[in-house]
Chains A and B, each alone.
Chain A
Amino acid sequence: MEHQYDCIVIGAGVVGNAVARQLSACSVTIAVLEKEQDLCFGTSGRNSGVLHAGFNNKTGSKMARFCVEGNLEFDRIAEELDVPFKRTGKLIVGFSDDDKNSLRAMKAQGDANGVPGLEIVGKERIRELAPFIAGEFAMYSPMTGILNPFIYTVALAENAHKNGAAYFFACPVTDIFYQDGRYRITAGGRNFASRWIINCAGLESDKISALLGIKGHKLYPCRGEYFILDKKAGQYLGIPAYPVPNPREGGLGIHLTPTIDGNILIGPSSKYIEENDNYSVTQDIMDLLIKDGGRIFPYLKREYFIRNFAGIRPKLVGPQEGGFADFVIERRSEAPYAINLVGIESPGLTSALPIAREVVRLIREVEPLKPNPGFDPVRKGPPAFAGLTNGQRRALIQQNPDYGEIICRCENITKAEVLEAINRPLGAATVTGVKYRCRPMMGRCQGGYCQTRITELLRQEKKLAVKEVLYQRKGSNMFTGVALK
């Protein structure tokens, strides 16, 4: 059987889901094909979660334009999609004269990009904004914010799905050819056909480009490693604090970012690697993170460590060149019915919706897309017990006693929230999927208490045999069988 759609989006990261949502506002049929078992298993689940303001990017670039646009509109988007978000502001702290010059240049670039409110501030203002951060002076960006990247990615997908987009998981696209006015796509043993393809395959977008017949794009995976700190450290930092970036490194420098849930991230480092799916953390980089992180956050202590992770940047510039390349968002003559997105690295999370609008604009250059009259932009997330007042909690438990059963002891997440994460449309099918949606296993005990409960609920709800429970990727089976007795 061949599944037919007007538009097929490859990749269910934040960009693919934003594109699907934007397309679902038009009268077209849409399918999203994702190679992994769930949403958000690529870079969209492995980043700093910062809503950038747009001063880091070259004036006139797509990066600068889309980042500023994405930043300015995000209060409305967060409200529409029920995404945890806070406009914290941000400090880029400097120590030397060179740093000061870099900050002035950065501010000038930001002003030119249309970033509101940037100012150079002195020590006193740093103390006021971030009493535990070191630095002689800083650039302050009031528009920068932090958001929950998992929920944002999931929310975009849920909203796209509600407005008609179909989702197929465990469907890696392995073959594409164009025949009789249609793309024929093979993915995960299934066949699909569509008039349009939108390549949002992140780290694999160069390979999809090649399948589309578009030559000349090569991605260089560049890994960024992090430490996650306990919420106990979170009290020391309410605002992201960055060093002045080193232009050679092509990252923003090791920074400290509070997460929307109250932890702190230290990182990311920046290192070119061979494979695009090796999420290792390494001893050398851990040592570096502690050293560099400790420079701007002298209160760093080992007892705060709860986890490490890594994300990989899909870079269009190799280690020799260094620096940044702009987002590629193109429709090429070799593939006139494909919109090709390559090199969507930072600030891709911030820019996802503006990028999606650009995709629709490029399609509209070829064919008119009628609006979808039934489009509803609103998505409501389930309530999170931990953030409620006792009165609200009481009412909720009365409606549904599962809100009275704590599954995650560190973050007070209830059975009702876990069941909702599993059973919602596009719900979680793996342990990590549950974690991304409602945060159990992200606290300081890292699942010591709740993991056994979550695997049990997953098995019960999805009717999985013991051996079928997955941690995340295909092949990441949690268990080898039942005990002898």
Chain B
Amino acid sequence: MTAIHKEAVIVGGGPGGLAAAVKLKQQGITDIIILEREKQLGGILRQCIHDGFGLTRFGETLSGPEYAQRFIDLVEQEKIEYRTDTTVLSISPEKHLTAVSPQGLLEIDSAAVILTTGCRERTRGSVAIPGERPAGIYTAGVAQTYLNLKNIMVGKKVVILGSGDIGLIMARRFTLEGAKVEAVFELQPYPGGLARNVEQCLNDFDIPLYLSHTITDIIGGARLEAVIVSEVDEQKRVKPGTSRRIECDTLILSVGLIPENELSAGASVALDPRTGGAYVDENFMTGVEGIFAAGNALHVHDLVDFVSLEAEKLAEAAAKFIRRGKLPVCGIKLVTDKNIGHIIPQSISGTKDVTLTLRVGRPLTGGALKLQQDHQDLLSQKFIKLVPAEMIEIKLAKELIKSTSEIKVVIAHE
């Protein structure tokens, strides 16, 4: 079988992929296709039935499916080709894709490939929680799929480990469904999710949040019976004498998300260990020419609005790439000090205004966030408080950039 040719293939039909596709089309790139492995477009939003999406992008608050539908409608309107039930199996560095669906194998050669494959959840195994291995332990996203898409309750007496946003949202959801959420335990001394979610999902329902706590044992041979929780010190070591047993039939893990990059390795796309996603330049192009990435596949976002906006920026650049066959060289590296968790993009050209997106590695109070080049401050922004749960954006005007030396992103304390 011979491969078909496309100007752009979009891998993943979540909010990232949909926004990228619509924008590409609006930029005049017509020969495009979205490949999505699920039965419907919409990505993870299909299961996020709560409100709170769209304030930034649409100026109103929507549920996840409503937000996704806005983009799906645009895809339909623009007559963009898409295939659901189609899983991309591999991508070569030459941008040859192999996908599979019940109709057969699909092979595509594409000028540009856009990776918007979303993310997956960290599991019990990846955080190595000791104890028995009974039924009743779910990641928050899996519990959310069961409840919101399959109408199935996974348990009645719930403990949540990790205070990521999905865990917080599930605490509220379980409570509304009549389950008892005993508590949320968080290893770090600060919550992992957004402040508004702590307020609306825990405090409003009197669900206690214990910071600097972790689970040190899991009990139950068949179904979960109890967990042992303990307090930890600054070094994350268990404090002796602080362990207690909590009876429960369900443990929900909300211990982090990892960008989904199974396909990237095969395409020789290099990954940044700090984000778990690709290294990209200001055009959202990865280290492999013509392969782009955005959304949760690039770095984990807290709000879907930013995913859409990022994907739209990607599409503008990708459209240029498709028309011209190349993009300006991005030789200026962005490096960070140890206070910064990660930064996107990791390199820029210096010839255009850019918005940098970053997260701090731990909560910081009182200081300034600075960009420095050749030992001089390009920009300095004071802050009162920065937390890892919230993404920070910095606009960097091209006029400020003086050379092609690397730019350092640092925190200066007062």
Residues of chain A touching chain B, judged by Cβ–Cβ distance below 8 Å, are 227-228, 232, 277-283, 286, 302-303, 305-309, 390, 393-394, 397-398, 401-402, 404-406, 409-410, 412, 444-449, 451-452, 456, 466, 470-485
Given contacts A479-B152, A480-B154, contact A404 B134 (CB under 8 A): no
What residues of A have a CB within 8 angstroms of the CB of B132 in the complex? 278-280
Interface 9-residue window, one of B13-21, B100-108, B205-213, B348-356? B100-108
Interface 9-residue window, one of B137-145, B280-288, B334-342, B401-409? B137-145
Residues of chain B touching chain A, judged by Cβ–Cβ distance below 8 Å, are 1, 37, 85, 87, 89, 98, 100-105, 120-121, 123-126, 128, 130-136, 139, 141-142, 145-147, 149-156, 177-178, 216-218, 221-223, 249, 262, 265
Within the complex, which residue of A402, A406, A452, A475 is in contact with B223, where a contact is CB–CB below 8 Å?
A475
CB pair B126–A305 under 8 Å, yes or no, is yes
What residues of B have a CB within 8 angstroms of the CB of A405 in the complex? 85, 101-102
CB pair A478–B89 under 8 Å, yes or no, is no
23 A-B interface contacts by CB (under 8 A): A227-B128, A278-B132, A286-B128, A286-B130, A302-B128, A305-B125, A306-B126, A307-B124, A397-B105, A405-B85, A405-B102, A406-B37, A410-B262, A412-B87, A446-B124, A446-B125, A446-B126, A478-B136, A479-B146, A480-B154, A481-B153, A484-B178, A485-B151
What residues of B have a CB within 8 angstroms of the CB of A484 in the complex? 177-178
CB pair B87–A409 under 8 Å, yes or no, is yes
CB pair B135–A471 under 8 Å, yes or no, is yes
Q: How far does the alpha carbon of A63 sit from the alpha carbon of B180 in the complex, in Å? A: 53
Q: How far does the alpha carbon of A484 sit from the alpha carbon of B145 in the complex, in Å? A: 15
CB distance from A352 to the nearest CB of B (A): 25
CB distance from A380 to the nearest CB of B (A): 24
CB pair B128–A280 under 8 Å, yes or no, is no
Q: Which residue of B lies closest to A394 (CB)?
A: B105
What residues of A have a CB within 8 angstroms of the CB of B133 in the complex? 279, 281, 309
Closest 4 CB pairs of A and B: A475-B222, A307-B125, A471-B135, A401-B102
Given contacts A404-B101, A409-B262, A476-B134, contact A448 B152 (CB under 8 A): no
CB pair A472–B135 under 8 Å, yes or no, is yes
Q: How far does the alpha carbon of A410 sit from the alpha carbon of B102 in the complex, in Å? A: 18
CB distance from B142 to the nearest CB of A (A): 6
CB pair B102–A306 under 8 Å, yes or no, is no
CB pair B128–A308 under 8 Å, yes or no, is yes
Q: Which residue of A lies closest to B154 (CB)?
A: A479
CB distance from A293 to the nearest CB of B (A): 13
Q: How far does the alpha carbon of A476 sit from the alpha carbon of B310 in the complex, in Å? A: 43
What residues of A have a CB within 8 angstroms of the CB of B37 in the complex? 406, 409
CB distance from B391 to the nearest CB of A (A): 23
Q: Which residue of B lies closest to A307 (CB)?
A: B125
CB pair A402–B178 under 8 Å, yes or no, is no
Q: How far does the alpha carbon of A421 sit from the alpha carbon of B262 in the complex, in Å? A: 25
Q: How far does the alpha carbon of A483 sit from the alpha carbon of B89 in the complex, in Å? A: 35
CB pair B120–A470 under 8 Å, yes or no, is no
Q: Which residue of B lies closest to A225 (CB)?
A: B130
Given contacts A397-B102, A404-B104, A448-B121, contact A479 B153 (CB under 8 A): yes
